[in-house]
Amino acid sequence: WRSQINIIDFNNAAIGALKQTFEDYLFDEIEDESYREKFSKIYQHFRQEPGKSDAGEKGLAEVNFLPDEDFEEQWLELLIKQVKQLQDKGLKASETAILIRKNKEGAKIIEAFMEASKKEENAGYNLSVLSNESLFLFASRGVNMVMLVVELLIDSQSKIRKVALLHLWLSWLKPELKKMGFAFSDQPQLTLNFETSVAESSGNWLIDENFESVFETELGEKMSQLRQKVLLSSLDETVTEICAVFELFKIKSELPFLQTLIDQAADLKITLSNDLSNFLFWWNEKGHKTSVGVNEEVDSVRLLTVHKAKGLEYEAILLPLFNWDVSWIGNLSPMLWCRPETEPFNRFPLLPVKAGKSLAKTIFRDDYYEEKVSSYIDTMNLVYVAFTRAKSALFINCKKKPEKENSKKPETPGNSVNSMLEFALKKMAGEQPFAGCMNKDNTVFRFGELPVFTSGQNAQEPAWIEDYQFYDFRDRIRLRLNSEDFLTEKEHRRSVKNTGKLVHEILAEVITSKDIGPACNKAFLEGRISETEQKAILEKLE
């Protein structure tokens, strides 16, 4: 095994302690001992052995337990601090990986690192983050704005879309543009007021009645401008025009997302259809999960899910959100498809039953236990994969289990992986070689020290698109008709045919009175006049 000795020792002890905690506390509710034996057998060979027997005690494993009430404020700040700490020891950004469990967690991490990279204090650090799966288009507020505008171009009366677009404009884009020096009118800042008298659980949230006037004031002119411009535009031109009107190209962090959306629109107009309805259908079906293309050779911090990390290894692994449930709970409980053997249920070859503790006392008990134990195994597998990706440094950040005041009952680990890890580490801290690794507050477990890293081959430096150049071709290219006087502008700015010019062209082909009919018929066949106009011209000329 290529990991440092301290990483291997920590993983062997921590995973072993977690395995024992699972068996001691989670399997109590399962009466059949065969399930406990099955679980134990799967992990009987979990221990790792060092690849070099003479390797010194190197590597760092650190677990931080943050207060539940402050976790949201602290975890991102701590994560950035840890990445900087690794780079202070000479570790390249590309040798660092941040592992998450769900893709949706990635967008917040990317945004936080981008904001941190702009600060003067971080000028000497590489805080760029690279991820294929967390750079989905739906994670971009700019792309979401574009698609909301597309929906409003299709259905201009959609109140939900208007409110969503207005919210993004007032809460994000307009303030961002103001920071860049864009000037807006001096009118008082308009806000949206949600009806708060309705209970949150009812789901019947209402928007203030004046939102229509707010929308018209803030975005009415932009929407009118777009309706005129995109009427005959292709899909990619429409997306580009929307971005230009809303000044989205000025937001540097949105450019990779917007460019990907424009590229997809250009492809769809050829492969699918060149209309907004089909574009919106594509977005709802699969377009929102399109990922921004990235260069794997760029020297950036890697961000990926634990599932995608299988088979990979990095010098440093960071688990910033190790707040995992050991199994499904509540509404996340799966539907079990059972094969009942008891009458009258055995009339059905398969019977759908919602998983829950109550099934333990029914004829579906075995199906419930099987599914529950499978979820324990899946969770333990994820923990094993996450911990064993690290070669030299492993950082784990999670919520600390709330302590019960004046409780005389013995401490139990709880039903989350992080609380079980805390329980296991407290026991480990009383034994060698981990004695003294847990601090007095039981908030930090630290085993080993960070080694000094030596830089290998230089990777490519990341580069952001600084400016997106866009020019409206309609200001420079125009379609010229066969005859410049074929259409003339009448009142109400309506274009109509120049009849006098047409009659003159017809007469140019007439030598004798016998040529009038064929000349009019030729003009009709060429599409210059209609059948009604042909009859009227014939009557006048004859």
Question: What tens digit of pLDDT does each residue of 203-225 get?
Answer: 445 566 678 888 999 999 999 99
Residue 19 has pLDDT above 80, yes or no: yes
**Rounded mean pLDDT, 70-85:** 92
CATH (domain of 162): 1.10.486.10
Q: Do 269 and 315 sit in the same domain of this protein? A: no
Residue 389 has pLDDT above 90, yes or no: yes
391 found inside a domain: yes
Per-residue pLDDT band at 285 (split at 50, 70, 90)? very high
Residue 238 has pLDDT above 80, yes or no: yes
- The last residue of a domain, from among 449, 472, 506: 449
Q: Do 249 and 316 sit in the same domain of this protein? A: no
Write the pLDDT tens digit of every residue in 338-385.
Answer: 888 888 888 888 889 888 888 888 888 888 888 888 999 999 999 999
Per-residue pLDDT band at 125 (split at 50, 70, 90)? very high
pLDDT of residue 196: 43
Phi, psi dihedrals of residue 96, rounded to the nearest 5°: -115, 135
**Rounded mean pLDDT, 58-69:** 92
Q: Do 129 and 143 sit in the same domain of this protein? A: no
Per-residue pLDDT band at 510 (split at 50, 70, 90)? confident
Pick the range with the lowest mean pLDDT from 29-43, 416-430, 439-453.
Answer: 29-43
CA distances to 134, 384, 491 from 137, rounded to whole Å, are: 9, 31, 46
How many whole angstroms separate alpha carbon 6 and alpha carbon 63?
Answer: 14
Q: What percent of the chain is modeled with pLDDT above 70?
A: 83
Per-residue pLDDT band at 460 (split at 50, 70, 90)? low
Write the pLDDT tens digit of every residue in 295-312.
Answer: 667 788 999 999 989 989
Instruction: Compute the C-alpha angle 8/2/325, nearest 5°.
Output: 50
Closest listed residue to residue 139, CA positions, set 116, 109, 118: 109
491 found inside a domain: yes
Starting at the edge strand found earlier in the chain, the sheet holding 314-319 runs 129-130, 301-305, 96-100, 314-319, 390-399, 59-66, 444-449
pTM score of the predicted model: 0.67
Per-residue pLDDT band at 434 (split at 50, 70, 90)? very high
How many whole angstroms separate alpha carbon 99 and alpha carbon 310?
Answer: 11
Residue 539 has pLDDT above 70, yes or no: yes
Phi, psi dihedrals of residue 504, rounded to the nearest 5°: -65, -40
312 found inside a domain: yes
pLDDT of residue 437: 93
How many whole angstroms separate alpha carbon 293 and alpha carbon 290?
Answer: 9
Residue 98 has pLDDT above 50, yes or no: yes
Residue 71 has pLDDT above 80, yes or no: yes
Query: Mean pLDDT score of the chain, rounded to an integer?
Result: 84
pLDDT of residue 422: 92
Q: Are β-strands 96-100 and 301-305 bridged in parallel, bridged antiparallel, or unpaired?
A: parallel
Q: Do 281 and 367 sit in the same domain of this protein? A: no
286 Cβ partners below 8 Å, 6+ apart? Answer: none
CA distances to 37, 160, 265, 284 from 274, rounded to whole Å, are: 60, 25, 9, 16
Give the best-scoring range by mean pLDDT among 39-43, 201-205, 481-485: 39-43
**Rounded mean pLDDT, 238-265:** 92
Three-class secondary structure of residue 3 per DSSP: coil
- The last residue of a domain, from among 242, 267, 289: 289
Per-residue pLDDT band at 195 (split at 50, 70, 90)? very low
Q: Do 379 and 431 sit in the same domain of this protein? A: yes
Residue 73 has pLDDT above 60, yes or no: yes
Residue 248 has pLDDT above 60, yes or no: yes
- Contact between residue 112 and residue 301 where contact means Cβ atoms under 8 Å apart: no
**Rounded mean pLDDT, 484-492:** 49
Phi, psi dihedrals of residue 316, rounded to the nearest 5°: -130, 135
Closest listed residue to residue 444, CA positions, set 387, 386, 396: 396
Q: Do 104 and 142 sit in the same domain of this protein? A: no
Q: Kindly compute the dihedral angle of the four CA atoms of residues 443, 447, 452, 454, in this order, to the nearest 10 degrees.
A: -100
How many whole angstroms separate alpha carbon 69 and alpha carbon 66?
Answer: 9
351 found inside a domain: no
Pick the range with the lowest mean pLDDT from 319-323, 344-348, 439-443.
Answer: 344-348
pLDDT of residue 407: 58
pLDDT of residue 224: 93
366 found inside a domain: yes
How many whole angstroms separate alpha carbon 130 and alpha carbon 320?
Answer: 16
The structural domain count of the chain equals 3
443 found inside a domain: yes
How many whole angstroms separate alpha carbon 421 and alpha carbon 423?
Answer: 5
Q: Residue 25's domain spans which residues?
A: 5-133+301-327+359-403+411-449
Q: Which helix (H) or strand (E) holds 317?
A: strand 314-319
Bond preceding residue 67 cis, omega within 30 of 0:
no
pLDDT of residue 202: 43
Bond preceding residue 518 cis, omega within 30 of 0:
no
How many whole angstroms separate alpha carbon 368 and alpha carbon 338?
Answer: 9
Residue 102 has pLDDT above 50, yes or no: yes
Three-class secondary structure of residue 25 per DSSP: helix
Residue type, 11: N
**Rounded mean pLDDT, 156-180:** 91
**Rounded mean pLDDT, 477-506:** 60
471 found inside a domain: no
Q: Do 235 and 96 sit in the same domain of this protein? A: no
Residue 108 has pLDDT above 90, yes or no: no
List helix spans (H) across 246-328: 255-271, 276-285
469 found inside a domain: no
Q: Do 125 and 147 sit in the same domain of this protein? A: no
Residue 144 has pLDDT above 50, yes or no: yes
Residue type, 88: D
Per-residue pLDDT band at 198 (split at 50, 70, 90)? very low
- The last residue of a domain, from among 259, 289, 319: 289
CA 414 to centroid of chain Cα atoms: 31
Q: Do 113 and 21 sit in the same domain of this protein? A: yes
Helix, strand and coil percent figures for the chain, each rounded to 5: 50, 10, 40
pLDDT of residue 360: 84
CA 183 to centroid of chain Cα atoms: 31
Q: Do 262 and 308 sit in the same domain of this protein? A: no
Q: Do 92 and 181 sit in the same domain of this protein? A: no
pLDDT of residue 356: 86
Q: Do 192 and 116 sit in the same domain of this protein? A: no
pLDDT of residue 282: 95
pLDDT of residue 1: 57
